[in-house]
Amino acid sequence: MMQESGTETKSNGSAIQNGSGGSNHLLECGGLREGRSNGETPAVDIGAADLAHAQQQQQQALQVARQLLLQQQQQQQVSGLKSPKRNDKQPALQVPVSVAMMTPQVITPQQMQQILQQQVLSPQQLQVLLQQQQALMLQQQLQEFYKKQQEQLQLQLLQQQHAGKQPKEQQQVATQQLAFQQQLLQMQQLQQQHLLSLQRQGLLTIQPGQPALPLQPLAQGMIPTELQQLWKEVTSAHTAEETTGNNHSSLDLTTTCVSSSAPSKTSLIMNPHASTNGQLSVHTPKRESLSHEEHPHSHPLYGHGVCKWPGCEAVCEDFQSFLKHLNSEHALDDRSTAQCRVQMQVVQQLELQLAKDKERLQAMMTHLHVKSTEPKAAPQPLNLVSSVTLSKSASEASPQSLPHTPTTPTAPLTPVTQGPSVITTTSMHTVGPIRRRYSDKYNVPISSDIAQNQEFYKNAEVRPPFTYASLIRQAILESPEKQLTLNEIYNWFTRMFAYFRRNAATWKNAVRHNLSLHKCFVRVENVKGAVWTVDEVEFQKRRPQKISGNPSLIKNMQSSHAYCTPLNAALQASMAENSIPLYTTASMGNPTLGNLASAIREELNGAMEHTNSNESDSSPGRSPMQAVHPVHVKEEPLDPEEAEGPLSLVTTANHSPDFDHDRDYEDEPVNEDME
């Protein structure tokens, strides 16, 4: 309950240090984030670790290729340099990781080309490498994707189970989830079809040549070090038994969607790891062949009695003949490598497609989430994806430390600056205690936000994106007499925000602290005792005057305006409609979207404000705040008063007999105090 921010920050810091430090793999989220700080990969935070892992694996594959290259150079040229083998490994292993973190493709075409051109790798090795590249990429992405969806689904289910609402709604939700699962399944099947079609693409004719390699199962969950060990063994075995024609490791994707038939819905949904989270298996060449004998159908290039090498489709009665065929027909040569490169490009296209589908799916998720949370509260801190955001929520979720609401709507204001984080749920919800200046900075009209998200705030334990001062003021202004006792303020908090129904001691202290601290809150002795009122002038003084006067701020606003240009149309449309929030739906169910929208809207307003102020007010339909003159102390004074004022009346009218409600919730604070 106490000092969560401190501890969390510390943990973050340590994570980051670890990440940038010695071990180059298994980066924790902190390190991961740091490594990705450049935002080069729009990858999802949730699965970031997995993705990074996958990339590391592939990077290591590349590394192994380099090692092999080195080894063969040494052997063939009989160079005197023996040491590099080891010395080379360490630094090389560390650098690539960071590279892998930033580059979606594991082995870039250029790298591949290099490897190919140097021709020091045996065809077998190259083939293995290529196959691994391709398969790993697809497999990992699919795995990650399904995993995420699964987690989100489960979270949804959880929330709805706790919601305890009418069966009707639950049925509806269930229906939605079914549809959603079907969507998942369809996507999965789509992916398979893509893959199959890819494999059947005849890009080049195959030239008979050297024997190719049977593929061996390679576990996905493999730790990089283990993988490396495996590769060591394999490569050493290779050098030792080069003449045996025996093989090397590669991927077994049979259990994945790549080559297997479509898994059942349940298997897909309920156990996304089943097929992909294999265990580490260190293979010697001998075991490889064994593994294929034991699992004759476990070759990703073999299925239904047909060779699935792209464009081949040769019929092989049994696995042995398939192997023979594979070795004879699909050896590595220029054309097949080119084929692989093309395949890689196709795969990249697929990745793009996958990204789009993910986006669509995310939109669905958001939509469903909206509906599910709208009616009734979710007992748990509402977070669309908190369970998936392993980064912080898992590690930092302390039962008592409510303050870091996973979905802290404070964060949603920032995604604007976080780029197109489509699926990145974390971007939508900055999890954890990260404190942000939110609404006040963005001048989000608190009353309108509260009005729009009223139900949500009431039911979801989401921290309202407003400062205590703003909330207190709002509470006071909503009261008929514009004055409240402390207890009434408390009650307003608990009534309006589920978030403030817990940790009462904390936030109440904060309320008192704010009341005392800010001049804008005036204590007035009254019959009832003491009541608190708001000195608007002081309050407005307190609020950022930046926009009004500061040129740099204006500049920022304008830049942000430009930044939000793509949204401009929609936002302006919504602003034109004024009352009907374009975002109503989103904001009701998903505060993050709502607040994000508000933030953007407000930023746009601010930007427009200046242009308008220069041109004369041309902002129709919007509250006077847009028409404010920069010089006049503040658009702010007008903002809350006029933009919020009227709205607050609405809110008040809707649900405000404050004192009556106060009674309703009178007991709650007490209970919460017990917590």
Partner DNA sequence: TCGCTGGTAAACACTC
Partner DNA sequence: CGAGTGTTTACCAGCG
What whole-number distance in Å separates Cα of residue 523 and Cα of residue 632?
28
At residue 254, the 3 state secondary structure works out as coil
What 3-state class would DSSP assign to 422? coil
Piece of the chain touching DNA by CB under 7 A; list 22-30, 208-216, 389-397, 462-470: 462-470
Residue 450 binding DNA, by CB under 7 A: no
DSSP, residue by residue, 54-101:
HHHHHHHHHHHHHHHHHHHHHHHHT-S--THHHHHHHHHHHHHHHHHH
Nearer to DNA, 151 or 603 (CB): 603
Q: What is the CA radius of gyration of the chain?
A: 30
The Cα angle at residue 539 between residues 537 and 542, in degrees rounded to 5:
110
Q: Does 655 bind DNA (CB under 7 A)?
A: no
First to last CA, the chain: 10
Q: At closest approach, how far in Å is the CB of 549 from DNA?
A: 12
Does 492 participate in binding DNA (rule CB under 7 A)? Answer: no
Which residues does residue 522 pair with via DSSP β-bridges, in sequence order?
533
Q: How far is the CB of 299 from DNA (least distance, A)?
A: 50
- In the complex with DNA, the residue whose CB is nearer, 146 or 497, is 497
Tell which one of 165, 341, 367, 436 touches DNA (CB under 7 A).
436
Q: Nearer to DNA by C-beta: 241 or 538?
A: 538
Among residues 124, 291, 372, 414, which is the contact residue for DNA, using CB under 7 A? 414
- Site residues for DNA, 501-560, by CB under 7 A, read 503, 505-510, 512-518, 523, 529-530, 532, 542-543, 546, 552-553
Contact call for residue 324 and DNA (CB under 7 A): no
The distance of closest approach from Cβ of residue 352 to DNA in the complex, given in angstroms and rounded to an integer, is: 31
Q: What does the alpha-carbon distance between residue 62 and residue 148 come to, in Å, rounded to a whole number?
A: 27
* CB hemisphere CA count around 192 (13 angstroms): 19
Candidate ranges 15-23, 118-126, 190-198, 499-507; the one touching DNA (CB under 7 A): 499-507
Taking the least distance from each CB to DNA, the nearer of 50 and 636 is 636
Q: What b-and-e string marks burial along 291-304, b requiring 16 or more CB atoms within 10 Å of the CB?
A: bbeeeeebbbbbbe
Q: In the complex, what is the shortest distance from the CB of residue 474 to DNA, in angstroms, rounded to a whole number?
A: 12
Minimum separation from the CB atom of position 126 to DNA (A): 47
Q: What count of residues does the chain have?
A: 675
Q: Which is nearer to DNA, 2 or 576 (CB)?
A: 2
Q: Per CB under 7 A, which region of 160-168, 178-186, 285-293, 463-471 contacts DNA?
A: 463-471
**Closest separation in Å from C-beta 276 to DNA:** 34
175 CB-near residues (< 8 Å, 6+ apart): none
Cβ partners under 8 Å of residue 174, min gap 6: none
Q: Is 428 in the site for DNA (CB under 7 A)?
A: no
What is d(CA 479, CA 337) in angstroms, rounded to the nearest whole number?
A: 74
322, 456, 468, 492: which one binds DNA (CB under 7 A): 468
User: Going by C-beta distance under 8 Å and a sequence separation of 6 or more, which residues neighbour residue 413?
Assistant: 436, 438, 439, 441, 442, 465, 595, 596, 598, 599
Residue in 183, 321, 380, 485 binding DNA, rule: CB under 7 A: 485
Give the one residue of 5, 71, 395, 418 binding DNA; rule: CB under 7 A. Answer: 5
Which position among 185, 434, 570, 649 is part of the footprint of DNA (CB under 7 A)? 434
Buried b (16+ CB within 10 A) or exposed e, 526-542: eeeeebbbbebeebbbb
Q: What is the DSSP letter of 526?
A: E
Q: List phi, psi (to 5°) of 245.
A: 70, 10
| 3-class DSSP state of 302 | strand
CB closer to DNA out of 569 and 674: 674
Selected from 162, 335, 437, 482, the binder of DNA by CB under 7 A is 437
467 binds DNA (CB under 7 A): yes
| Residue placing its CB nearer to DNA in the complex, 503 or 613 | 503
Which CB atom, from 27 or from 510, has the smaller least distance to DNA? 510
Please, which residue, 456 or 490, has the CB nearer to DNA?
Answer: 490
- CB closer to DNA out of 469 and 575: 469
d(CA 367, CA 378): 16
Closest contact distance (angstroms) between CB of 401 and DNA is 7
Asked if 596 is part of the footprint of DNA (rule: CB under 7 A), the reply reads no
Task: Characterize 131-144 residue by residue with b for buried, 16 or more Cβ atoms within 10 angstroms of its Cβ, and e for exposed.
Answer: bbbbbbbbbbbbbb
Let me know: does 424 contact 627? Beta carbons within 8 Å. no
CB of 309 to DNA, least distance (A): 52
The residue within the footprint of DNA, chosen from 333, 351, 440, 455 (CB under 7 A), is 440
Q: Classify each residue of 599-630 as buried b or exposed e, where b means 16 or more C-beta atoms within 10 Å of its C-beta.
A: bbbbbbbbbbbbebbeeeeebeebbbbbbbeb
Among 238, 369, 441, 495, binds DNA (CB under 7 A): 441
List the structure tokens of 315. Answer: 């019929």
Q: Per rule CB under 7 A, is residue 395 in the interface with DNA?
A: no
- Please state, in angstroms and rounded to a whole number, the distance separating the CA atoms of residues 305 and 316: 5
Stretch that binds DNA, among 227-235, 421-429, 485-493, 592-600 (CB under 7 A): 485-493
CB of 574 to DNA, least distance (A): 23
CB-nearer residue toward DNA: 577 or 673:
673
- Count of chain residues binding DNA (CB under 7 A): 50
Summarize as ranges the residues that interact with DNA (CB under 7 A).
1-6, 9-10, 401, 403, 414, 434-437, 440-441, 466-469, 485-487, 490, 503, 505-510, 512-518, 523, 529-530, 532, 542-543, 546, 552-553, 670, 673
